[in-house]
Chain A
Amino acid sequence: MIVSFENRLSRFLGTTAIFIAIILVLFPFLWIFLESIKPPSLGGRPDIWRFEPSWENWREIVFNSNVPLNILNSFFIALITVVISLICGAPAAYAFSRFRGFQGARYSILAAEMMPPAILILPLFLLLYKLELIDSRVGVITAHLTFVVPVVTWFLIGFFDEVPKDLEDQAMIDGYTRFQAFYKVILPAVRPGLAAAGIFGFVLSWNDLFYSLLLTGAESRTLPVAIAGFWTFRGIELGKMAVAILIAVIPVLILSYSIQKHLIRGIGGSGVKY
Chain B
Amino acid sequence: MKKLKLSTAIAAIAWATISTSQVAHAGEINIIMEEVPDYDIVAKLTDQFTEQNPGITVNFDAMPFDAMRDKILTSSLAPSATYDVIIIDNPWTDEFARAGFLEPLDSLISSQDGYAYDDFVPALADISKVDGSIYGVPYYNYALGLIVRQDIFDSKGLAIPKTIEDYMSVVKSLTTNGMYGAAMQPQKGYKIMEEWKNWLYANGGELFDDAGNVIINNQAAIDALNQYIETHSQAAPPNSANWGFDEALRSVSSGKAATMLSYNWMLPALNAKGGMSGDLAGNFTLHEVPGGKSVLGLWSWGITANSDNKDDAWTFISWISSPEVAKQRAIMGGAPVRNSVMNSPEVWEKGYGKAYYTALADILDGSAPLSSGNNAEELIEIVGTELSAAVTGQKSVKEALDAAANGVERAIK
Are any A and B Cβ atoms less than 8 Å apart in their complex? yes
- 19 sample A-B contacts, Cβ–Cβ < 8 Å, listed by A number: A41-B275, A41-B276, A44-B250, A76-B15, A76-B16, A132-B78, A135-B22, A136-B17, A137-B19, A217-B82, A218-B61, A229-B35, A230-B64, A232-B36, A232-B65, A233-B64, A233-B245, A234-B36, A235-B245
**Contact assessment for A133 and B19 in the assembled complex, using a CB-CB cutoff below 8 Å:** yes
* A residues less than 8 Å from B18 (CB atoms): 136, 138
**Contact assessment for A80 and B64 in the assembled complex, using a CB-CB cutoff below 8 Å:** no
Q: Which of B70, B74, B249 has the most CB of A within 10 A?
A: B74
Given A135-B82, A217-B71, check contact A76 B12 (CB 8 Å): yes
Tell me the count of chain A residues lying within 8 A, CB to CB, of chain B. Answer: 31
**Contact assessment for A136 and B35 in the assembled complex, using a CB-CB cutoff below 8 Å:** no
Instruction: Determine if B63 is an interface residue (Cβ-Cβ < 8 Å).
Output: yes
Report Cα–Cα, A138/B18, bound state, in Å. 7
Instruction: Determine if B6 is an interface residue (Cβ-Cβ < 8 Å).
Output: no
Per the 8 Å Cβ criterion, residues 60-86 of B in contact with A are: 61, 63-67, 70-71, 74, 77-79, 82
Instruction: Determine if B34 is an interface residue (Cβ-Cβ < 8 Å).
Output: yes
**Contact assessment for B70 and A214 in the assembled complex, using a CB-CB cutoff below 8 Å:** yes
**Contact assessment for A132 and B17 in the assembled complex, using a CB-CB cutoff below 8 Å:** no
Distance to closest chain A CB from B56 (angstroms): 19
Instruction: Determine if A23 is an interface residue (Cβ-Cβ < 8 Å).
Output: no
**Contact assessment for A234 and B37 in the assembled complex, using a CB-CB cutoff below 8 Å:** yes
Per the 8 Å Cβ criterion, residues 281-338 of B in contact with A are: none
Instruction: Determine if A141 is an interface residue (Cβ-Cβ < 8 Å).
Output: yes
Q: Which chain B residue lies CB-closest to A77?
A: B16
Report Cα–Cα, A232/B65, bound state, in Å. 7
Distance to closest chain B CB from A7 (angstroms): 44
Instruction: Determine if A107 is an interface residue (Cβ-Cβ < 8 Å).
Output: no
Q: Which of A80, A132, A141 has the most CB of B within 10 A?
A: A132
* B residues less than 8 Å from A60 (CB atoms): none
Instruction: Determine if B213 is an interface residue (Cβ-Cβ < 8 Å).
Output: no
Q: Which chain A residue lies CB-closest to B244?
A: A235
Q: Which of B22, B37, B249 has the most CB of A within 10 A?
A: B22
**Contact assessment for B22 and A219 in the assembled complex, using a CB-CB cutoff below 8 Å:** yes
Report Cα–Cα, A30/B20, bound state, in Å. 39
Instruction: Determine if B113 is an interface residue (Cβ-Cβ < 8 Å).
Output: no
**Contact assessment for B17 and A137 in the assembled complex, using a CB-CB cutoff below 8 Å:** yes
Instruction: Determine if A231 is an interface residue (Cβ-Cβ < 8 Å).
Output: yes
* B residues less than 8 Å from A87 (CB atoms): none
Distance to closest chain A CB from B213 (angstroms): 34
Report Cα–Cα, A238/B271, bound state, in Å. 21
Report Cα–Cα, A77/B16, bound state, in Å. 7
Instruction: Determine if B13 is an interface residue (Cβ-Cβ < 8 Å).
Output: yes
Q: Which chain B residue lies CB-closest to A218?
A: B61
Instruction: Determine if A134 is an interface residue (Cβ-Cβ < 8 Å).
Output: yes
**Contact assessment for A135 and B35 in the assembled complex, using a CB-CB cutoff below 8 Å:** no
**Contact assessment for B19 and A233 in the assembled complex, using a CB-CB cutoff below 8 Å:** no
**Contact assessment for B19 and A135 in the assembled complex, using a CB-CB cutoff below 8 Å:** yes
Report Cα–Cα, A253/B88, bound state, in Å. 41
Distance to closest chain B CB from A172 (angstroms): 28
Write the B227-256 contact mask toward A (1 if CB under 8 angstroms, else 0).
000000000000000000110011000000
Instruction: Determine if A183 is an interface residue (Cβ-Cβ < 8 Å).
Output: no
**Contact assessment for B79 and A138 in the assembled complex, using a CB-CB cutoff below 8 Å:** no
**Contact assessment for B65 and A233 in the assembled complex, using a CB-CB cutoff below 8 Å:** yes
Write the A60-84 contact mask toward B (1 if CB under 8 angstroms, else 0).
0000000000000000110110000
Known: A44-B250, A80-B17, A217-B74. 10 other contacts (CB 8 A): A77-B16, A133-B19, A135-B19, A136-B18, A218-B63, A219-B22, A232-B64, A233-B35, A233-B245, A235-B245
Instruction: Determine if A129 is an interface residue (Cβ-Cβ < 8 Å).
Output: yes
Give the contacting residue for B34; candidates A133, A225, A233; CB below 8 A: A233
Write the A75-117 contact mask toward B (1 if CB under 8 angstroms, else 0).
0110110000000000000000000000000000000000000
* B residues less than 8 Å from A205 (CB atoms): none
Instruction: Determine if A220 is an interface residue (Cβ-Cβ < 8 Å).
Output: yes
Distance to closest chain A CB from B57 (angstroms): 15
* B residues less than 8 Å from A225 (CB atoms): 67
Distance to closest chain B CB from A86 (angstroms): 14
Instruction: Determine if A236 is an interface residue (Cβ-Cβ < 8 Å).
Output: yes
* B residues less than 8 Å from A133 (CB atoms): 19
Report Cα–Cα, A214/B246, bound state, in Å. 25
Given A134-B74, A136-B19, check contact A233 B67 (CB 8 Å): no
* A residues less than 8 Å from B37 (CB atoms): 234
* B residues less than 8 Å from A233 (CB atoms): 34-36, 64-65, 245
**Contact assessment for A220 and B19 in the assembled complex, using a CB-CB cutoff below 8 Å:** yes
Distance to closest chain B CB from A235 (angstroms): 4
Q: Which of A136, A228, A233 has the most CB of B within 10 A?
A: A233
* B residues less than 8 Å from A132 (CB atoms): 78-79
**Contact assessment for A80 and B77 in the assembled complex, using a CB-CB cutoff below 8 Å:** no
* B residues less than 8 Å from A231 (CB atoms): 64, 66
**Contact assessment for B67 and A129 in the assembled complex, using a CB-CB cutoff below 8 Å:** no
Write the B370-405 contact mask toward A (1 if CB under 8 angstroms, else 0).
000000000000000000000000000000000000
Report Cα–Cα, A133/B22, bound state, in Å. 10
Write the A161-196 contact mask toward B (1 if CB under 8 angstroms, else 0).
000000000000000000000000000000000000
Write the A134-156 contact mask toward B (1 if CB under 8 angstroms, else 0).
11111001000000000000000
Write the A223-245 contact mask toward B (1 if CB under 8 angstroms, else 0).
00100111111111000000000
Q: Which chain A residue lies CB-closest to B269?
A: A234
Given A77-B16, A235-B246, check contact A229 B67 (CB 8 Å): yes
* A residues less than 8 Å from B61 (CB atoms): 217-218
Give the contacting residue for B17; candidates A141, A213, A214, A217; CB below 8 A: A141
* B residues less than 8 Å from A218 (CB atoms): 61, 63
Report Cα–Cα, A232/B63, bound state, in Å. 8
Report Cα–Cα, A234/B276, bound state, in Å. 12
Report Cα–Cα, A219/B22, bound state, in Å. 8
* B residues less than 8 Å from A234 (CB atoms): 35-37
Give the contacting residue for A219; candidates B19, B67, B78, B250; CB below 8 A: B19
**Contact assessment for B16 and A232 in the assembled complex, using a CB-CB cutoff below 8 Å:** no
Report Cα–Cα, A233/B63, bound state, in Å. 10
> Nearest 10 CB-CB pairs, A to B?
A136-B19, A76-B16, A235-B246, A218-B61, A232-B35, A233-B36, A134-B74, A232-B64, A229-B64, A138-B17
